[in-house]
Chains A and B, each alone.
Chain A
């Protein structure tokens, strides 16, 4: 359910940036989404295709850049991608003393716009 307001947020952010640039058509939207956020790409795309109808983002491609969280072992220093459900121990040395950072990013990075009408 939460993908609906999130998708609306993506659409509003992109359309607002496109209007400032004076274009009439958005070709693609690049998103950066942290690996610990509960956002399902396919679900966002599904809502986007409906919500964007009749807007200047209609037909735009959504590109998701997943930013994985990183786990660091406090004992041996090994680092590895932290993907939920998180591993309870370091794969290198077995220590349970781990620190997970990042993975909570959630923003529109950029949009590709059509130059033909950007006057």
Chain B
């Protein structure tokens, strides 16, 4: 018997396609954001509210990842946003090859910002690189303040975190300092944006940060 060192990432094949996606995004001048959250945290609402606040010269586009259905994609179309729906057929996450199938159509429209709405799931979505520039994790008041403690892998992978439904924090006895400490524990660098897509409070700071990332790229 001989032992051979391999030292290779398990999802190496996915990573290679993610790198191709990144190259295509860069060539097209689009900043891509991988939007990850539990089901119902407000991923779709955040994308719609963000798109509505973009300057006229910043064009958004969206990839919608869902187990099935076009409900979210139809909401984007109704808002006049270019969208490609990916139905994962039961898979709990998007992967780089799925995103690759959607890129040619969307990049032909010359978007400046591409939101990739991942499948609602806080467990594994961050493990599958898509080629995006930023990982965004969206949490929300009804989910509770313990999420960074229970799903540290997701929050550790975030470049930014949004806490949505801030208008109802008190209703859910949401301990914001506890949430902040949990996030700082696993990820001291990611900025936290406390906002409400329903009232619009806090959205301006998030949109300004997002636009600054695009300018920095």
A contact residues vs B (CB 8 Å cutoff): 1-2, 5-6, 9-10, 12-14, 17-18, 21, 27, 31, 34, 36-38, 69, 71, 82, 84-86, 88, 96-100, 103-104, 106-115, 118
Interface residue total, chain B, C-beta cutoff 8 A: 38
Flag if A85 contacts B146 (CB, 8 Å). yes
Enumerate B38-95 residues with CB–CB distance to A below 8 Å: 90-93, 95
Q: Given the complex, which residues of B lie within 8 Å of A31, measured CB to CB? A: 10
Which listed residue, B1, B13, B127, B150, touches A12 by the CB 8 Å rule? B13
What would be 5 A-B contacts, judged by CB atoms less than 8 Å apart?
A17-B6, A18-B4, A103-B156, A106-B127, A108-B7
Flag if B153 contacts A1 (CB, 8 Å). no
B contact residues vs A (CB 8 Å cutoff): 1-14, 90-93, 95, 123-124, 127-128, 146, 148-153, 156-157, 178, 181-182, 185-186, 188
Which listed residue, A37, A88, A111, touches B6 by the CB 8 Å rule? A111
Flag if A108 contacts B152 (CB, 8 Å). no
Complex formed: what's the CA distance from A92 to B93 in Å?
38
Q: Given the complex, which residues of B lie within 8 Å of A27, measured CB to CB? A: 1
Which listed residue, B10, B124, B178, touches A38 by the CB 8 Å rule? B124
